[in-house]
Amino acid sequence: MKLRESGMPEEAYWETLFDVPLNLDRLGIDGRLGDVMELGCGYGTFTVPIARRISGTLTTFDIDGAMIERTRQRATAARVRNVVYVVRDVFADGFGGHAGSQDACLLFNILHCEEPIHLLAEGGARRALGRRGAGDSLAL
């Protein structure tokens, strides 16, 4: 189930809308975080900077294979190697992985979806968080 279309602008314009370092600083994204998951990588705007900051692996999900490929290209160009790319409909199939395996679940510009509460709670974001990450589904 693809999320409701949010009118995602062209990549060049999209990149001007966020102060990514400031947002990540305010969210406390740093080396204290080990494994992290990100729902909806889009163009990879946040993916590469997050992967550079954390000490573990960033698993990023998107239902759109073209977005995964664009993010992979950006990470490769930046020589970032701690990202796992997953094309998946998390509403239908969940996040996968083991319960409690993630320090944080990051969701950027996706709360336009039809069922945001399901996504955050029952959809697997909360289930994937470990004891350290309890309550740390971060949405921007």
Q: Tell me the pLDDT tens digit for each residue of 74-113.
A: 999 999 999 999 998 877 777 776 667 788 888 876 655 6
Tokens 């550079």 belong to which residue? Answer: 52
**pLDDT at residue 31, rounded to an integer:** 96
**pLDDT at residue 1, rounded to an integer:** 47
Between the alpha carbon of residue 113 and those of residues 11, 22, 34, 101, the distances in Å are 20, 25, 27, 25
Check residues 131 and 129 and name the one with the higher pLDDT.
129
State the CATH class of domain 21-139. Answer: alpha beta
- The pLDDT of residue 118 is above 80: no
Domain boundaries, the chain: 21-139
Q: What is the mean pLDDT of the chain?
A: 80
- The pLDDT of residue 131 is above 60: no
**8-58 residue pLDDT tens:** 678 888 888 889 999 999 999 999 999 999 988 989 999 999 999 999 999
**pLDDT at residue 113, rounded to an integer:** 61
Q: What percent of the chain has pLDDT over 90?
A: 42
**pLDDT at residue 105, rounded to an integer:** 84
DSSP 78-134: TT---EEEEE--HHHH---S-TT-BSEEEE-S-TTSS-HHHHHTTTSHHHHB-TTTT
- The pLDDT of residue 114 is above 90: no
